[in-house]
């Protein structure tokens, strides 16, 4: 049961792709069939599988979620009480609730079973730079 | 580690149940205890476990998500930039980010551990007919 | 492949933490490395990993989701058709679609790989008291 962890350094909110790192690790592990699970050890960022071909898709996803969960210093969010860590903090927890913390991808014939357009991303929800840790596990 | 894939042909946005196909495959595999994982290989559809008893629930889910993520040709979505594939395309990516791409269900005493009202659905977000592939894996 | 189920008795909508129960079970199982999967057998509640340090975070999550999916007896939800089980029922199904039904957490060196601030919660979406069942599976 091979395990590792990936460290992703973020510099502000947005999507950071790390498909290549996961793909290379899965190849090095050498499992022909199995299940690769990723788990993010944080409550203000997310994991997301989304299109990696057109950067416009990532920009639009960012823009949508910024509107769905506005910052704490906007009038529509005046009901929030957890404000001690800045106007981006509680919205980051809300986005981290809405989007996945764990993902499982079958390994088929020695390769991750991602579709043609699927890329694995860390979705950072905080403004300040962060060091994010993703646990990875390949099991039977 | 048995694996298979399910093909679901869709004819427009909405929920397509395939619980029966997964249940039958899990029974054929014959595992008494295990973990069944489903993984969707697309970025404009989702997997969803939801009530399968009352068709009104499915209709209301459709209606809610259509309002939560309006089409790209509506005024509230005028900020979207990825528009080349039609007004249903970027909203489909957003819904595919909001809803699951992978699901894991324990197999208990030879059966999928679904609750009484839980059905497994593919949630199609595009208008045009699509052929969707779901990888399935049963592990220990 | 150890399995168990956790019963969580709820008394109204909100977050109910059960990290301790899962942690103790995983320790009792004694796996050094593995994957712990939780699966909720209901369509009107969710599983959620979120911050367990500050109760304000839980209160704000509640408040956000109550606004994102208003009750069926409010004007903005007048399009809902599934109304037979009360004004909290269809919104509960919608929240249960938006938030996870399954979660997978690697077991690393004999312990659940949760981050410092991560707690495992059942998110109840119904008003009335409910008995909720979560299947748990630790695999290789």
Q: Is B80 within 8 Å of chain A by CB?
A: yes
CB contact under 8 A, B37 and A104: yes
Single pTM value for the model: 0.98
Into how many domains does chain C fold? 1
Does the structure show a pLDDT above 90 at C1?
no
Query: Which of chain C's residues have a Cβ under 8 Å away from the Cβ of A104?
Result: 104
Residues of C in contact with A98 (CB under 8 A): 98-99
State the DSSP code for A26.
H
Domain with residue B69: its CATH number is 2.60.120.460
Which residues in chain A are closer than 8 Å to C105, comparing Cβ atoms? Answer: 39, 102
Q: How far is C83 from chain A (nearest CA, A)?
A: 25
Is A86 at the interface with chain B, CB within 8 A? no
Q: What percent of chain A stands above pLDDT 70?
A: 100
- Nearest residue, CB atoms, B43 vs list A34, A51, A103: A51
> A69: exposed, middle or buried (C-beta count within 10 Å: 0-12, 13-18, 19+)?
buried
pLDDT band for C123, please (50, 70, 90 cuts).
very high
Is B77 part of the contact surface with chain C (CB cutoff 8 Å)?
Answer: no
Tokens of A64: 């949508």
Q: Name residues whose C-beta falls within 8 Å of residue B119's C-beta, 6 or more positions apart in sequence.
A: B17, B19, B49, B50, B51, B52
Residue A87 C-beta-side C-alpha neighbours within 13 Å:
10
Cβ atoms within 10 A of the Cβ of A130, count?
18
Distance from CA of C139 to the nearest CA of B (A): 5
**Torsions phi, psi for A13 (to 5 deg):** -60, 145
Asked if A117 lies within 8 A of B93 by C-beta distance, the reply is no
Q: What is the pLDDT of residues C19-29, one digit of tens each?
A: 999 999 999 99
**E runs forming strands in chain C:** 3-11, 14-17, 34-40, 45-51, 102-108, 111-112, 118-124, 129-139
Crossing angle for the helix pair A89-98 and A55-68, nearest 10 degrees? 110
Q: Which residue of B has its CA nearest to A52?
A: B43
Residue C78 token pair:
């007048």
In terms of C-beta density within 10 A (0-12 exposed, 13-18 middle, 19 or more buried), how is residue B116 classed?
A: exposed
Whether pLDDT at C52 is above 90: no
Of B37, B39, B90, the CB nearest to A60: B90
Task: Report phi then psi at C85, rounded to 5.
Answer: -105, 20
3-state SS, chain B, equals CCEEEEEEEECCCEEEECHHHHHHHHHHHCCCCEEEEEEECCCCEEEEEEECCCHHHHHHHHHHHHHHCCCCCCHHHCCCCCCCCCCCHHHHHHHHHHCCCEEEEEEECCEECCCCCEEEEEEECCCCCEEEEEEEEEEC
In angstroms, the CA A132 to CA A134 distance is 7
Residues of B in contact with A120 (CB under 8 A): none
- Degrees, nearest 5: CA angle A26-C108-A25: 10
Residues A85-101: tens digit of each pLDDT: 999 999 999 999 999 99
ipTM metric? 0.97
Within 8 A of C33 by CB-CB distance, chain A residues are: 1, 3, 137
Q: With 90 as the cut, is the pLDDT of residue A54 above it?
A: no
- Nearest to A99, CA basis, from A40, A52, A28, A56: A40
Rg (Cα) of chain C, in Å, rounded? 16
What is the DSSP-derived secondary structure letter of residue A77? G
**Beta bridge mates, A112:** A107
pLDDT of residue B140: 86
Nearest residue on chain A to C123, alpha-carbon basis: A97
Q: Which domain holds residue C43?
A: 3-139
């Amino acid at each position: 049961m091979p395990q590792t962890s990936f460290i992703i350094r973020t510099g502000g909110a947005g999507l950071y792709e790390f498909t290549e790192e996961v793909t290379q690790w899965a190849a090095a592990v050498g499992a022909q069939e199995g299940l690769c699970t990723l788990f993010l050890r944080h409550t203000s960022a997310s994991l997301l599988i989304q299109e990696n071909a057109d950067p416009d898709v990532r920009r639009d996803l960012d823009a949508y979620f910024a509107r769905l969960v506005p910052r704490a210093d906007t009038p529509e969010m005046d009901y929030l009480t957890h404000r001690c860590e800045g106007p981006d903090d509680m919205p980051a927890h809300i986005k981290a609730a809405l989007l996945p913390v764990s993902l499982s991808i079958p390994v088929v014939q020695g390769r991750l079973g991602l579709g043609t357009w699927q890329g694995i991303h860390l979705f950072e929800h905080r403004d300040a730079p962060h060091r994010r840790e993703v646990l990875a596990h390949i099991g039977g």
